[in-house]
A = this chain, B = another copy of it.
Amino acid sequence: MSLLKAAIIGGGHIADQNHIPALKKLSDQVEIVAVCGRDLNKTRLIADQHLIPGAFDNLESMFNSCELDLVVNCTPNNLHYDYTMQALKNGCHVLCEKPPAMTATEARKMADLAIEKGKILAYNFQRRQTSEYLLLKKLLSEGQLGEVYHIKANYLRRRGIPGWGNFTNKTIQGGGALIDLGVHILDLALGMMDYQTPDKVVGNIYDFIGKTGGKGLKGQWDPAKFDVDDACFAYLTFPDNKSIAVSCSFALNQKEEEIINLEVFGSKAGAVLNPISLHTEVAGELADIQFPFLEETDTQLKNTKAFIDAILGKQTNICLGEEGAVLQEIVEKIYLSAGL
């Protein structure tokens, strides 16, 4: 089989550290033929470092010059829609960074176009690939959890407002803690509940700490330029009476530096992550189960592989366009409920 030809859109840190290395480890299936970035000099530098032949500073010339099978879209949130649409129109499969887009409408259009074009549109929710989440899904599919009816999804930092990048800029990012952190854990929770669309969404967002300033544990942010949510709490209910409570924060007055967790409550057993444990009955007695030997895995590699496999027609656990659209709609509803 000949190699799939890939291009990277966006020449920043996440391309350099995550996506390019992952694709290169899959060199029996794919080769990177081009990188496209805003600054041609920087882009060429990255291309050279990774031995990638093509370097471009606009998509059009890249699509004109190269025969591409797929692109990875690593641009800022406000460019996800445009570049992904362009790539799909040019007949490429797309792996797009999260969140899907700035609005629910955009995400819906992206999903529709992918279907129309018969291409794989996938989002890089690589936390789906942790050993713990894969085990959790296996426990679910084996029926060991029974029916899962409530999930608490938490991604909470005490003082983790990033002191770099555009994370506190609403125009570029579209939001704060919810759109940067919350989407990860919401994606995982939805994945435990058939990725249904909720019938009620209510939530609140806050910015007390972000606007006040203080000690930063992920660099020092500028409170004067902070215009996103530093914390968001939301509650979703589903038509079949299931429910999800989402809590996420860049900054919150809690004890822990960072909590990333799912608390899953099922009719037969409950489970929590980090580390994963199961709370159930064994031989008629209440029992707690630990899994002390789960090994960490390269989640980006696994997710990129899942994308490639999806292109090749296999069933994988990659987040596809449709799921991205559902997710984006929920995010939008939370922000709307919170009065934005």
Hey, which bits of chain A sit against chain B, CB under 8 A?
A: 135, 138-139, 142, 144, 146-147, 149-150, 152, 158-159, 200, 202, 204, 206, 208-209, 212, 214-215, 217, 231, 233-235, 237, 241-243, 245, 247, 252-255, 257, 263, 265-270, 272, 277-294, 337-339
Is the pair B289, A270 in contact by a Cβ cutoff of 8 Å? no
Give the CA-CA distance A212 to B146 in the complex, in Å: 12
A283-B139 in contact given A150-B206, A208-B147, A290-B288 (Cβ < 8 Å): yes
Is the pair B270, A252 in contact by a Cβ cutoff of 8 Å? yes
A204-B237 in contact given A291-B287, A294-B285 (Cβ < 8 Å): yes
Is the pair B280, A285 in contact by a Cβ cutoff of 8 Å? no
Quote the shortest CB–CB distance from A217 to chain B (angstroms): 6
In the A-B complex, the 8 residue pairs with the closest CB atoms: A253-B270, A235-B235, A208-B267, A204-B243, A286-B293, A288-B290, A138-B283, A253-B279
Give the chain B neighbours of A283 by CB distance below 8 A.
135, 138-139, 142, 144
Minimal Cβ-Cβ distance residue in B for A278: B282
Is the pair A150, B287 in contact by a Cβ cutoff of 8 Å? no
Quote the shortest CB–CB distance from A3 to chain B (angstroms): 29
Is the pair B252, A265 in contact by a Cβ cutoff of 8 Å? yes
Give the chain B neighbours of A214 by CB distance below 8 A.
281, 284
Is the pair A243, B253 in contact by a Cβ cutoff of 8 Å? no
Is the pair A237, B202 in contact by a Cβ cutoff of 8 Å? yes
Give the chain B neighbours of A270 by CB distance below 8 A.
252-254
Is the pair B277, A285 in contact by a Cβ cutoff of 8 Å? no
Give the chain B neighbours of A284 by CB distance below 8 A.
138, 214-215
Residue from B147, B208, B289 in contact with A282 in the complex, judged by beta carbons closer than 8 Å: B289
Is the pair B257, A293 in contact by a Cβ cutoff of 8 Å? yes
Is the pair A202, B202 in contact by a Cβ cutoff of 8 Å? yes
Is the pair A146, B208 in contact by a Cβ cutoff of 8 Å? yes
A288-B285 in contact given A208-B149, A233-B150 (Cβ < 8 Å): no
Minimal Cβ-Cβ distance residue in B for A255: B279
Give the chain B neighbours of A234 by CB distance below 8 A.
235
- Output the residue of A214, A284, A290 with the most chain B CB within 10 A: A290
Is the pair B233, A245 in contact by a Cβ cutoff of 8 Å? yes
Give the CA-CA distance A268 to B293 in the complex, in Å: 17
